[in-house]
Amino acid sequence: MSDSTHPTTDSTVGDDNSFFDTNGPALTSETSQDAASDSSQELSAAQKLAQAHATAAEEIAAVENPDVGATLGDDAENAEAPIEEAQAQRKPKKENIDLASEELFPSLGSAPSAAKAPLWGAGAPKAAAPVVKSAPTASGITVERVTLEPNQLALRPNFGTFTQSKIPAVAAQVMTRTKARIEISTARKTGQTTFLIRGSPEVVSKAKRELMKEVAAKIKTIVKVPSRVRRFIIGAKGATLREIETKTGAHVQLPKREETDAQEHEDSEEEVMVDVTVEGDFDGVRLAKEEIEKIVDERTQNITARVAGIDAAFLPMIQAKISELEQGDLKIRTTVVDDKATVILSGDKKIVNPTKAQIEEIYAELQRNTTAVNLPVPARKHRFLTGKVQSILESTGCAVVLPQDGSDNVTVRGPSAQLGQGIEAMMNIVNEVVLDALDITGAHPNAERGAQRHASDVGKFLVKSGEMASIEKDFGVQVQVQEANGRVVFEIAGAQEGEVKRARRELVNAVNALQPYRFAYVEVDPLVRRHVQGTKNKNVQKAKQEQGIEVFFGEGEDALVALVHAGKEGDSEFLDREVVGQRLGAVKAEFEQAAGDAKDFVTKEIQAEVKFHKIIVGPKGTTLNAITGGPDAPIVVKIGNDETISIRGPSKEVDRVAKEILDLVEEAKTNEVLNSYTQSFDFPAKFSKNLIGKAGANITKLREELGVKIEVDEGKVEIQGMKKNVEEAKARVLSLAERLEDETIYRLAIPFKYHRALIGQAGKFVKRLEEKYTVRINFPRDNDEEGEQQFTDRPASKDEIVVKGGKKTAGQARDELMELYEYEKEHGFTETVNVPARAISRIVGREGAKINELKDETDTRIDIDHAAANANGGDENATVAIVIRGTKAGVTTAKKAIQEIAEEIEHQVEETIQIPSKYHRTLIGSGGNNLRDIVVKAGGPDDRVALARMVRFPRAGSTDDNINVKGDRALVDKVIAEFQKIVKDLEERVTIEVDIAAEKHRVVIGRAGAARRDLETRFNVSIDVPRQKKDGTPGSGGIKVTGKQEDVEKAQEEILNMTKGADSVVVVVPRALHRHVADGGNFIRQLRSQYNVSVDHGRVQLPKPASKPKAKETNGDAPRIDDEDAAAPSKGYAWEVVDEGADEEAGEDIPWNLRGEEANIEKAKEAIEKQIEAVKGQQFTGYLVVPAHKHRFIVGQGGSRIQQIRAETGSRVDVPRAKGDEVVVIKGGKDNIEKARQMILEATTAPGTPRERR
């Protein structure tokens, strides 16, 4: 077969050609000569040649066409002239034929230059194509010439053995069927056959296709096209493919979709090419190929190409060049896998291919002209190089490549002359980093789940709670939690060693604070993890909000869930451990109960031959998904490399899945064609587009999820695949039809200005409605045209909203939407307030507290343009718009509140003053009290948070002298003035020491420090008195007084006056009476308060009084005062006398040292001596059991009776107040207490006194 194509000739070559006129009956030699003689002078060159051929009867064959008059065929260039006109012009003059005449015998021409290879299909086998040329005429008649090489001819089997003589017969039949004219000529030397086909364009096209179908040899060619274009070649329901085959007569075969899908998924980034087979005659194949390439060209303006296998060390330098190559819509990205990089280019094919070549050249040049050096850099420092790689490349021209395997080797690549600069730049960055490591594994060795697990959970909590981030921010460091080889290590990195160390100390404190008692653990099967977490993590959020518990679920198969007590808002810093345990226990119980709800989870193993595993899984897991219910189902199926299949989940589901898998295996064993099961059913034609989806999205989803083939024709759906999957797909399709049948569309006339309010911020209101009622709510879009009705679910105007869904749910959504609209109409008053950007944080408040409070109080919605606030936060003059919506009154109130805050911010200033750091502690005071007093006194806030925001001191331990004060100008000035005044006073302070005898220190201190406080207040000084020694004696040294010079001197004078004349006297108290004189310390306190005299008895312990008998000790035999014979002396426990002096320890008497003013000491001494005389013989104590309900008779009205008893007997009588205590205590001389007893008996047993109920 020749590889060249030949153009049509205007005539055939003299005696070497045979010419056949297929338009009339056979011509005899006579008729040919007569015709020639009549018009030879007027004929064209081609007509003269035809005439010459007609005279050679032995070389002429004619085919009769009964429907067409006898005419002689014209050449292609003069085909527009009717044959009848040519015959009328013929004259009888006869001429000699010049066989060398170029006019009579024009050359056939040379082969044309090779056609340019198409973009797609390169590499397809080449074949000579028939030459085809069309020439339209003025009368609308077209003449088309087709030339075939000898080897391009082939006769159909029904015409017998191939010979040239058969061609006219074939042409005659074609002419009969198509009404076209066909003229045939054959060159004897070359064997080329030329067909001239005349008629209307439609007739010529049809005749040519039928003729070529019968006489042209069949060839096959391969056209390579991108797989993504396959569907465009096929067209909707195969329409485009049928049109190509009808038009060209060729058969086009495309690969099956499954084959192309498999290729596409091997590498989704690569442009996958597939083979399209075109089979037919030469002309038909050519035309079909042109049509296919035309479609490909239209659909492949954008392509994807890649440069693979690039050494990753060169990638940074290549990337630097890539930015110069990007143009138009060209997109370039890179990937790295196993130290090999790939550059992926996508965009216009005219740009992608040359850019790919440029990148390949850049890579080759870098390989030739750069050198690489490997340097050891600790792997934990690599992350600090990550953000600096680009700057090193830009400044030195060298690339730094970090290892992917975690090793220490870092590669620096660049030109030899610049390599040293690159290495130096990299090492400077590395050496700037200060690293420290804190191993917390052993911090809590006694933790419930072991030290390592506890340490791991501590790290997770610090990260999740934000405490780690806070430490990083405060100290300017980075902390990474590393877990390896059973150790948990915090890696701390920063620029300053001091900050790194401080961060480490802070981390140590944080870890130590997370004691094991704050942790609890619960076992939760991973399969029920989602159930325990609750819908949208509800249970986890509940644990955090109600109990202050953070929850950490294990990953993968880890069933252990960690519960960490983080605390709730308002909790004390030192919360009781018992409370923490109760909270952890409550959450643990809830989680255990939730997990218990799914206790029926079981694991079951079944056996299936490995060869069936692929069938069980199905294409892309579709079959297994259909069996289990999809990825969200609470069941897990594990298929290993052996015959065992493990199924875990709820017992009923496990049994069901196991049965279905085994049934599927049995079905496969019967050698049924698994994918041949087909179901056809009716589907409403009006919903076909809904079933198919946009660009076939819905059908594609069904195919991919269930691995079935779906064909949708008018009113019919056919599904083919595995039976299980087909039935599932059918159920889904029918469910869709049922839903669509019930679908209703409501059009709501709501003015456009209310749409934003109905949509809500980020669409939250409309999304809630759509999720609640399972409907679709469409608002008008910017590109919707007024009155557009192309889509029935789109609004027809900007003042319309469309609700689409089930009749019932759509109606409910419509009603709620209208209610919202009515509410918005009433509350739709809107105002916009422009405020300084720097005021936004104050308006919003901490975590939105302030603005939320304002919203609640005014019942308004307040929208802040946070994007503008963030963008202009650094601009002092920037403003941000705040939109307030609600009732007019509410909006007015909210606007006023916001403007007040804004005005306050506008008047705010920030001042920095320098005060020596040694005075900072004094300004702050204990617990910040001094600072709070200063600010409050100046008219500032009392709130600790606001206080901290207003006045900022340097960090503790810092030598920085700067203090920042921020707030209203007047307030700031007052605070600063007070600071300066206090500092001035501190700088003017002096300290003097007042030499006072140690035993007189008590005079200066006074009772409970009252005297000292009075001195400090009156003279504005501070007084430091030496502490007492451990043995109780006063401390040595003088008293220090600190303050202004004049104040100190005045205080000194007052102290000397206070202690002037103060003396000390010793009074001896008998040891046996010591306790009775002291009266439990009451008498000593009385001396101090009445005479300002202090008593020191050497801290001698007072003997304990006899234990008081209990009423319950009085048994049934012991008489009580309410017994019939109560007046008689009782010998039971009802009355008991104790001589407390008899048990006193023998020894020396006890000295009482009295200190105070001389006159006061004398008075105190006299009082002590009287007390000693009074208690002599008063060491007896009597205990009398009296029913509690009779105590009131002992006391008497207003205490009159008990006072009488005390006065007449000289005894001390104590009536108990505690509930249930019936024992009355009487102290005094032996005779005195007996008399008191008798008086009590008389008071409680007198006539008229109610007796105790029995």
Following DSSP, what letter does each residue of 627-652 receive, concatenated? HHTSTTSS-EEEE-SSSEEEEEEEHH
Q: What is the CATH number of domain 1066-1245?
A: 3.30.1370.10
Cα 918 to Cα 16: distance, rounded to the nearest angstrom: 124
pLDDT (tens digit per residue) in 925-964: 877 888 888 988 888 888 887 888 889 998 877 888 899 9
For residue 966, the surrounding DSSP H or E stretch is strand 962-968
Domain 829-906 in CATH: superfamily? K Homology domain, type 1 (3.30.1370.10)
pLDDT (tens digit per residue) in 32-49: 333 333 333 445 554 554
Q: List beta partners, residue 412.
A: 373, 400
pLDDT (tens digit per residue) in 1150-1167: 888 787 777 888 888 888
Is 2's pLDDT higher than 50? no
φ/ψ (deg, to 5) at 889: -65, -45
CATH code 2.30.30.90 for 743-826 = no
Cα 1241 to Cα 1130: distance, rounded to the nearest angstrom: 12
Buried b (16+ CB within 10 A) or exposed e, 123-144: ebeebbbbbbebbeeeeebbbb
- DSSP one-letter string for 1045-1093: HHHHHHHHHHHHHHHTTEEEEEEEE-HHHHHHHHGGGHHHHHHHHHH--
- % of the chain at pLDDT higher than 90: 4
- Mean predicted confidence (pLDDT) in 24-30: 31
Is 259's pLDDT higher than 70? no
pLDDT at residue number 268: 43
CA 1178 remoteness from chain centre: 85
pLDDT at residue number 277: 92
Q: Which CATH number is correct for 990-1060, 3.40.47.10, 3.40.470.10, 3.30.1370.10, 3.40.50.170?
A: 3.30.1370.10
Is 874's pLDDT higher than 50? yes
* pTM for this entry: 0.32
pLDDT at residue number 902: 85
pLDDT (tens digit per residue) in 402-437: 887 778 888 888 898 888 888 888 888 888 788 888
Enter the tokens of residue 1158.
């001389």
Between residues 528 and 967, the one the model is more confident about: 967
pLDDT (tens digit per residue) in 454-468: 998 899 889 888 888
pLDDT at residue number 433: 82
Three-state SS for 350? helix
pLDDT at residue number 155: 53
pLDDT band for position 571 (cuts 50, 70, 90): confident
Q: What is the CATH number of domain 909-987?
A: 3.30.1370.10
Cα 1205 to Cα 1238: distance, rounded to the nearest angstrom: 10
pLDDT band for position 1035 (cuts 50, 70, 90): low
pLDDT (tens digit per residue) in 197-207: 899 888 888 88
CA 104 remoteness from chain centre: 86
CATH code 3.50.50.60 for 677-741 = no
pLDDT band for position 893 (cuts 50, 70, 90): very high
Classified by CATH at the fold level, domain 371-432 comes out as Ribosomal Protein S8; Chain: A, domain 1 (3.30.1370)
Cα 447 to Cα 826: distance, rounded to the nearest angstrom: 61
Between residues 682 and 571, the one the model is more confident about: 682
Lowest mean pLDDT among 188-192, 673-677, 890-894, 1209-1213: 673-677
CA distances from 1243 to 1127, 1219, 1253 (A): 12, 21, 18
Q: Where are the beta strands (DSSP E) in 756-828?
A: 776-778, 800-806
pLDDT at residue number 800: 92
Enter the tokens of residue 129.
């194509």
Cα 688 to Cα 1208: distance, rounded to the nearest angstrom: 116
For residue 198, the surrounding DSSP H or E stretch is strand 193-199
Is 567's pLDDT higher than 80? yes
Give domain limits for the chain. 14-112+128-199, 225-369, 371-432, 601-669, 677-741, 743-826, 829-906, 909-987, 990-1060, 1066-1245
Residues whose CB is less than 8 angstroms from the CB of residue 1064 and which lie 6 or more positions away in sequence, other chains included:
999, 1153, 1154, 1155, 1161
Between residues 1140 and 334, the one the model is more confident about: 334
Report the 10 Å Cβ neighbour count for 1080. Answer: 11
Q: Which of 53-67, 450-464, 556-570, 902-916 has the highest mean pLDDT?
A: 450-464
Cα 247 to Cα 287: distance, rounded to the nearest angstrom: 8
Classified by CATH at the fold level, domain 225-369 comes out as Ribosomal Protein S8; Chain: A, domain 1 (3.30.1370)
Domains 601-669 and 829-906 share a fold: yes
CATH code 3.30.1370.10 for 601-669 = yes
673: closest CA among 606, 723, 737, 609?
A: 723
pLDDT at residue number 1099: 56
Between residues 1088 and 87, the one the model is more confident about: 1088
Between residues 1029 and 915, the one the model is more confident about: 915
Lowest mean pLDDT among 24-38, 826-840, 1137-1151: 24-38
> DSSP label at 113?
P
Enter the tokens of residue 761.
């911020």
Cα 237 to Cα 256: distance, rounded to the nearest angstrom: 15
pLDDT at residue number 58: 33
pLDDT (tens digit per residue) in 88-129: 444 444 444 444 444 444 444 333 444 433 434 334 444 444
Q: What is the mean pLDDT of the chain?
A: 76
Label each residue of 394-434 as H, E or C: HHHCCEEECCCCCCCEEEEEECHHHHHHHHHHHHHHHHHCE
pLDDT at residue number 802: 92
